[in-house]
Structure 1
Amino acid sequence: MTTPPPTQQTNVFGRRLTLALAALGSIAVIQGAVALWAVGEAERHVLRGRVAADIRQGFTELRSEKQQLRTWLAQRQFGADARDSHRDALLQRMRIILADLKRLADQAVVLDDGPAARQRQAQRRDALVVLDGSIAQLERGLASLNPPPVGMDTNLAWSIANELFDRAEGQDLRLLLAESIDREDVSLREKRADTNDALAWLRRLWVGSTTTLALAALLLAVFFARALRGPLRSLSEGAAALRAGRLSHRIALSGSDEFAAVARSMDAMAAELAERRRIETEARQALEEQVAARTDELTSALAAQREAEVRRRQLFADISHELRTPTTAIRGEAQVALRGSLKPVDEYRSSLRRIDDASRQLGLAIDDLLTMARSDIDALSLRRVAVDLVDVLNDVLSHGEAMALASGVRLHHEPWPAALEMSGDADRLRQLLLALVDNAVRYSRPGQAVRLEAVRIASEPAKVEVRIHDEGIGIAAEELPKVFDRSHRAPNAISHRADGSGLGLPIARVLVRGHGGEISLTSAPERGTTATVTLPLAVQVPKVPA
């Protein structure tokens, strides 16, 4: 037998492959077209059944709503509590159901055009026309129907009501609804039977076409598997060698067909890649050294610049916030002392003492700001001694009254326990509570009230809850998880008070946690906010003189 030239061999193998793929593709296209048609048929049958079920359900719901309306009328006739709003809601529901039935009836006309179906559709349209008139009749009749006069025959009143509900355009509505439901039941059973028959037929068609495609694919797969197994194995081994980086590997495949040509191309590519890899490796090493050195320099410079900018911004923000509360307290005390006529010396002394306390608080705030400028807010220091929280609360109340008075806000407190001993820093506790009182006053409107209370919690170990409640603008629910984020301010807070930096609550949380406690906020817009500080009470420890 004469061996055909290499070009002819290549063309023969390509033609065989092309014809096989074309045959397989044609079968797949035919099966896809059949599948699309089958899906369309199935969807049409399912949609017909769904529309029939919805129409049947609509008639049933209409009868149910009408029965509820009849019950309402019975309650109205016999003096029970039957509200007009309930009647209107039932009538509105009946109108909605009737509108849905009309829409479904129009859809059924499009989906089903058989002789029996056309007869049912005509009966359905006639029934819907009568029901539409009956609903209008019910609306007019119920609107003008009043409870029967005293002494009127009850049977006569009920007969009038029954005539209103059961007769329309000379037809018995009860019989009309029952016949409609029965008719839709028959239609629904027919649609389900049609759907089951169609699905069974489509299933047989799908199985047949799928089996044909599977057999054709199997035969072609067996044929090409025998023809391609050896060449593909050699090419696969060569590709795996290239993927693993073994560029010295050569594919042992001779001949003049497509596979041999691909093998020679892969061998040439491997040789060229080996040479290029050597050159690129040398160049990449030199470039990586330069890039690494420059990247380190730029990273260091950028980090230093960002850190300096962040610290600068935070320092200005912290100064504006932390200095506001004590300066407000000092100003408030001074205004109280200067307001009105001359006061006794003791009152001036008391005001000056509170101003002194606020000044000391101002000094502590300045120290904190310097600390934050050097590191971060968590570096605040605490000087723990035995503290009676009641004394701190009294100081906070005294300073807070001045701030509240300056803003036209009323500040009062619930009676708190006689003593609340704990281990902590009195100045930090005072700073914490004054910041919360300041927030409550700032975001309250003139004439509103801020309330303080302290409650001992029976637990092990014992705790105390300090609650600061205001009646101010409140916080939206989506903003509550963010209130302790540094420099965050809710939109309504910004619109109420443009000044502020959003640092009070983050600092307060650090101070609370520094004392082993927790802080939480509950709020509702325009109904106020409650800040709850929970602190542990301690056993008696020796007090250190101030």
Structure 2
Amino acid sequence: MYKKKLFLFGFISAAVLVVALTSVSFSAYITKENLRQSETAQSLLSEHQKLSSISYRLFKQLTDELIFGRNANQALVRNKQKLIEESLSIIRELEVVQRNDLGPAITQGSVEDTDELEMLIDEIISEFNAIIAMNDSTPLRQQARLQRLLEFTIDNKFREAINAAVSRQSNVVSATNSRIEALNAATVWFSVILCVLVGPFIVFGCIWLFNQLYQPLTLIDSGTQIIASGNYTFRLPENLDQEFHSLVQSLNQLAGKMAEHEKQEEVMRTQLQIEVDQRTSELTEANRQLTLIDARRKQFIADISHELRTPLTVIRGEAQVTLRQNDPAMEDYRAALQTVLDQVVGLSVLVDDLLLLARAEINQLRLLVEDIDVVDVIESQLEQWQRKMPLRTFSLEKGGLQESTLSIAADEQRLRQIVTILLDNATRYSEPDSAIDVLLSATVEAIKIQVKDYGSGISPADLQYIFERFVRFKPRTDGAGLGLSIARALVEAHHGEIRAESEQGQGSVFTVVIPRQRPI
């Protein structure tokens, strides 16, 4: 309903605006044409006045030639004649334009009189030339032909002709200006009348539209304020104009949804409190884990200090004892140097392990990748450990492998180091006569190496820290606790993964998975 009212008001307003704009455009066009015609008339009047001035100057110069001789002003005469020709040419062009614009009635006689004026000027110039050519010695005052030329032809006939042309053109200019003033007056009155007629319509139309719009807007405003205050049970009436019906329905639906959201907010607040409590518990546990890690870090510092202090103490003691001897034998020197060498080698191994881990952390661990036989690497390692520990049984099981060789792209030295670390770890945490089993399997994409021992196993609380640095679950065990950390760094450098599974009293299984082809 309100849309129809608005369309009606808009259509009438647009029609009035179109009429007004059309009138203004038409008036502007007519004004432009009148101004152009007035400019043409004014220019033509100026050219007539200019022609009059040039002609009289030419006549004066011709008169001077009679007085002072034939060649007195020839250059000036020719210049004035040229200016007269140019002025007559401009006058003819402007008179044609003016006649086309204003019509023959207003410009009657202008084009024709110009031809007569040109003939009269030519006649006067010819008469001057004829008198000059006669070379009459009679005083100028007594020459009847010259007197007739000056008094009758120039003073009367030429003056009347040029004055008539100027007067006629002045009338044209006045008529054109009068038309412009009349048009301006008509435009002003038309604008006044249009404002008088349209103004009240616009005012009353706006008041009518405002009244039609104000009541529903006031009702909607008060309703939205009630809903905004928190009263989500309030509903706006839906009997307003059709244009406001969808808005009212949306506001009522919004109030209903806000009521539902208020209920959900309470539920979510309770749930959020539960989640906050849970996260707090998790943070507490994380803090406990960090405290435990910090304690282990301190323990590691103490251990590494001990690991470094012991060989250094031995080295210093051997050196001091040897130096205190008055005349030590060669065997004493050799024994001291051997002890020092053994301790330095141990220190070098520890430093190399720490350096390897540091390079792995900054992604600067370089591998010499080549195609190697995994079966050959593992078998050679097991043979070495079997000779080293004859009381144990080291076995290799090739799960589902049909080939005697298994080729992968890896660093052979680092792969041997991984296997050595896993076998060393298995022997450390199991009985001296227990077996160590190695299971080797493969797919198209990767190989899997599993090392199983039958020791006491690892508790679930300790299992998550098994690959951390300086972790040793038996304080008296040899080593700094870096082996599994190094193994993990080397496996990850091969873009693989390592994991540990253990049951207390059942032993542990360490699994290494390495891609067969190094990723590009």
TM range (shorter): 0.3 to 0.5
Q: Could you state the TM-score of these two structures normalised by the residue count of structure 1?
A: 0.36
Larger Rg, first or second structure (1 or 2): 2
Q: Could you state the TM-score of these two structures normalised by the residue count of structure 2?
A: 0.38
